[in-house]
Amino acid sequence: MTLVATAQTPTADPYPVEELELDLRWWAAANYLTVGQIYLKDDALLDRPLTHADVKPRLLGHWGTSPGLSALYVQLNRLIRRTGTPCLYVAGPGHGGPALVANTWLEGSYSELFSAIRPDAAGIRALFRQFSTPGGIPSHVSVPTPGSIHEGGELGYALVHAAGAAFDHPDLLVACVVGDGEAETGPLSGSWKIPAYLDARRDGAVLPVLHLNGYKISSATVWGRSSDAEVCGYLASQGWAPVVVSGDDPRLVFTDLEAALRGAHERIAEIQTAARAGAVDVRPGWPAIVLRTPKGWTGPAVVDGIQVEGTFRSHQVPLSGVQTDDAHLAQLEQWLRSYSPELQFPTEGRLAPELAALAPAGDLRMGSTPYANGGRLRRPLDLPALADYSVDVPAPGTTSAETTHPLGELLAEVYRRTTTPEGGGTFRLFCPDETASNRLQSVFEVTDRCLQAEVLPTDDHLSPHGRVMEVLSEHLCEGWLEGYLLSGRHGLFATYEAFAMVSASMVIQHVKWLQHAADVPWRTPVSSLTILLTSTCWRNDHNGFSHQGPGLIDTVIPLSPAVVRVWLPPDANCLLSVAAHCLRSVDHVNLLVADKQQHLQYLTLEQAEAHCAAGASVWHWAGTESAGDDPPDVVLAAAGDVPTLEVLAAAELLRRWVPWLRVRMVNVVDLMALMPPDIHPHGFSTEYFRELFTDDADVVFAFHGYPRAVHQLLHGRPDTDRFHVRGFDEQGTTTTPFDMVVLNRMSRYHLVLDALRHARRTPERGEELAAYCREMLDRHEVYIREHFEDLPEVRNWSWSGSALPG
């Protein structure tokens, strides 16, 4: 074991030989179960010589990283038993799924959660047969893996999830294994800055274990080929105090790893004790372990004359010909018997009592920890009454407000209600350096931005104990929130709309997690992942094309209807209503799209609550339908704040010029409700869809995002060809706000032209109105190039409800 100068040398505490031998036997049992899951469908305990028929026809799974994962599991069990510290195990090398399953079966938690996988020979056979087979479990650490909050299929997120779980859990130790392949990813590379955000006074600890076995699937890794000094120098620069444990002799490695973990735990206790006693030490140098062991450790050293152990060839299935090759089959049996299954499972396949005693008790078992099943710890969020934060709307479309500002005031009160006397809490806002930019700055009345570094007089609301998490990385904000939610708390991720796409893949993976968690009975509901997309495409006219992109909507709408929700509130009161709903909800991914700029306000809080509960409604005050039974000649529909403004301005033009044209105005806030009810649980019934859009009237639909999204959602509704959608058409630049809607042909003038074109009848003065609209578009183009701002009648527009002059 190599100690870096900044590391804490562990205190002398002997590791008795007899205990070491028992730990090595547990490790052998775990390795046996790991290999068995990959290869065997029968003869699970080698009661007779293996035959080709005992081997699975399809060999799936990954051996290479598994022995190292199991070695750490053994030593963490020892640490937990000795100290009583609750520990969460986050496995970054997700391909080590069979190792985590094996260890949770050994500790007993697996059989408690899955009664068919009994703690005996029949259970071992069932354990083997379910792995990577139809109707069984996946090969990665995943939703059905006890003790997991982390899907290991897409690499890069282990350390960021670990940090999210540690925030506001002061007693928790999160041991996070980072594989050297995963360490090459962008998100993981950014995750090492945890020491700049981990508050020892109120947070738990993250103990990274950088597991270097030198290879990924078929090539060497950068970290694996770096020297200890290079690796440790980088970690130290990020605020870690690393210790290196290296070797291939299990007894020596286990001895060194035990000492490293003991020393790390003691140093963590020192850091936390000092911080909680009031000491000022914002960058204490948190412990970290660099573990170098051979890839495929204890597996076949050589296969067909080619080295396998210690090379990339052990990554997945070291012996690939066992179904037909007698030599491979014999080598598999030899490999399995090297773990002495008859010694580890001596009586009817049950784990030897002296090994079973190595597991921690009850919920201290890592497969049973409530921190990995956050619904067990979650308590409903204490939300204040919305009326205290609502915007006064004396008449629709006549007053303006920054739509997200009232939400910021609400979140400030949420912070007040959920912050504990010790400075922790159960709610956090995560945002990439944009909290104030996004008009949520009221939260700084209650707490600060968090940074474990020197605070300068010129800083604004910055302190080591702040609980607003600002880091200029969508990956970290998203991942921190996921870990925070999955371990039982509440939160919100607010970001510029266009740059939410940076973490789009993370959103997809979280949807998949929640989708499958719903089918695992022991997984209890967790708070929904709510993403506020603001600084939207339509109002990033000042930043230009790079900041203009509503693509996250398109990313999520094809995903699980049971999980995904997309909300487009048109004003501040609707935003409050929807946000409160989202923050109370469980097991969903909510996209909440609302711009931060000044916008006209339309609905009182009472009206907003009814509108949002319905998902969409007819705004009768904006239309020109008579009280009779005649259907509308055309329907104007909007989803989103800027589309709502343009539709209302179009409706007023129609009201003023052609009041005898029957126009209905529909506003949609729950986008997924456009889908048929047999596809999405929020889908409007056929009857309500008809009430909104009629059976046969053409619908001119102004939409916040890409028009194809609405067409996709409407699939399955009758006569969808009558829907004519205008939205963001990938036209943008640095320009005026109104020019953005003109460029994308979603302006009020384009909408009027569409309405006249698709109405049931051509109204009197229709051609005159169409000419006026074309003239205004021409005027607009000339005016903005001369004056650098929009036409006065556009930028000062508000709803008047005017009719045709007499």
Measured between alpha carbons, how far is 101 from 111 in angstroms, rounded to an integer? Answer: 11
Q: 304 — alpha (psi -120 to 50), left (phi > 0) or beta?
A: left
Helical segments of 131-199, H only: 158-166, 186-191
Cα 788 to Cα 734: distance, rounded to the nearest angstrom: 11
Tokens representing 96 are 């080590």
Please, which residues have CB within 8 angstroms of residue 60's CB and are 6 or more apart in sequence? 38, 131, 132, 139, 317
State mean pLDDT over 51-63.
93
Closest of 289, 284, 290 to residue 267, by C-alpha: 284
In order, the DSSP letters of 717-734 are STTGGGEEEE---S---S
Q: CA 667, CA 608: separation in Å to the nearest integer?
A: 11
DSSP string, 200-227: TTTS-EEEEEEEE-SBSSSSB-TTTTS-
pLDDT(243) > 50: yes
* Interatomic CA distance for residues 543 and 594, integer angstroms: 17
At 757 the three-state DSSP class reads helix
User: What are the CB-based long-range contacts (under 8 Å, 24+) for 81-86?
Assistant: 81/358, 81/360, 81/364, 83/265, 84/364, 85/171, 85/173, 85/265, 86/171, 86/172, 86/173, 86/363, 86/364, 86/369, 86/371
- Which pLDDT does position 628 carry in this prediction? 62
> How big is the CA angle at 805 (ends 803 and 806), to the nearest 5 degrees?
120
Q: What is the pLDDT of residue 627?
A: 58
Question: Of 379, 391, 435, nearest to 412 (Cα)?
Answer: 435
pLDDT-based confidence at residue 791 (cuts at 50, 70, 90): very high
Mean pLDDT of 460-470: 96
Is a pLDDT exceeding 90 seen at residue 629?
no
Q: Are 203 and 452 in contact (CB under 8 A)?
A: no
Percent residues over pLDDT 90 in the chain = 89
Pick from 356, 323, 85, 64: nearest CA to 217: 64
pLDDT of residue 6: 36
Q: Per DSSP, what are the bridge partners of residue 667?
A: 617, 638
Kindly indicate the confidence band of residue 362, based on its pLDDT and cuts at 50, 70 and 90. Answer: very high
Query: What is the per-residue pLDDT across 198-237, written as a single tens digit (0 to 9) for each?
Result: 999 999 999 999 999 999 888 999 999 999 999 999 999 9
Q: Looking at residues 528-552, what average pLDDT do you find?
A: 90
**Model pLDDT, residue 2:** 37
Residue 548 neighbours by CB under 8 Å, 6+ apart: 498, 537, 538, 540, 728, 732, 740
Instruction: Give the C-alpha separation, 266 to 645, whole Å.
Output: 60
Q: Which residues contact 87 (CB under 8 A, 6 or more apart)?
A: 76, 79, 80, 172, 173, 174, 175, 364, 366, 369
Unique residue bearing structure tokens 């044209």: 661
CA dist 374 to 141, 149, 172, 174, 691, Å? Answer: 17, 9, 13, 14, 41
What local confidence, expressed as pLDDT, does residue 802 receive? 58
DSSP state of 462: E
* Mean pLDDT for the stretch of residues 702-723: 96
Task: Give 237-267 as a DSSP string.
Answer: HTTEEEEEEE-S-HHHHHHHHHHHHHHHHHH
State the Cα–Cα distance between residues 690 and 380, nearest whole angstrom: 37
Kindly report, residue by residue over 556-594, the tens digit of the pLDDT.
Answer: 999 999 999 999 999 999 999 999 999 999 999 999 999
Say whether pLDDT at 94 is over 80.
no
**What confidence tier does 5 reach under pLDDT thresholds 50, 70, 90?**
very low
Q: What's the rounded Cα separation, in Å, for the pair 187 and 164?
A: 14
Give 540's pLDDT tier (boundaries 50, 70, 90).
confident
- Beta bridge mates, 274: none
Question: What single-letter DSSP state applies at residue 55?
Answer: B
CB 264 within 8 A of CB 243: yes
DSSP output for 674-719: GS-TTTSTTPPPHHHHHHHH-SS--EEEEESS-HHHHHHHHTTSTT
pLDDT score for 3 = 35
Residue-wise pLDDT tens digits, 152-209 = 788 999 999 999 999 999 999 999 999 999 999 999 999 999 999 999 999 999 999 9
pTM for this entry: 0.95
What is the structure's pLDDT at 270?
Answer: 96
Per-residue pLDDT band for 1 (boundaries 50, 70, 90) equals very low
Q: How far apart are CA 716 and CA 686, in angstroms?
A: 11
How many whole angstroms separate alpha carbon 255 and alpha carbon 236? 24
pLDDT value at residue 9: 47
Per-chain mean pLDDT for the chain: 94
pLDDT exceeds cutoff 80 at 7: no
Residues 694, 697, 700: CA angle, nearest 5 degrees: 105
pLDDT in tens, 374-411: 999 999 999 999 999 999 999 999 999 999 999 999 99
Which of 105, 65, 67, 77 minimizes the C-alpha distance to 250? 67
Find tokens 């290991």 and name the residue: 152
**What would the mean pLDDT of 667-671 be, rounded to a whole number?**
98
Give the total residue count for the chain: 806
Q: What is the DSSP secondary structure assignment for residue 499, as one 8-state letter?
A: G
- pLDDT at position 96, please? 87
Cβ atoms 502, 475 nearer than 8 A: yes
CA atoms within 13 A on the CB side of 520: 24
User: What is the pLDDT, as a whole number, of residue 806?
Assistant: 30
Rounded Cα distance between 769 and 326, Å, is 85
pLDDT tens by residue, 731-764: 999 999 999 999 999 999 999 999 999 999 888 8
At residue 13 the predicted structure's pLDDT band, cuts being 50, 70 and 90, is: low
**Residue 547: what pLDDT?**
87
Report the distance separating Cα 188 and Cα 475, nearest Å: 9
Which of 783-795 are b and which e, b meaning 16 or more Cβ less than 10 Å from the residue's Cβ?
Answer: bbeeeeebbeebe
Distance CA 589, CA 508 (A): 9
Summarize pLDDT for 287-307 with one digit per residue, the tens.
Answer: 999 999 999 999 999 999 999
Alpha carbons 462 and 395: distance in angstroms, whole number = 40
Residues 6+ apart with CB under 8 A from 142: 94, 97, 148, 151, 152, 153, 513, 516
pLDDT score recorded for residue 281 = 65
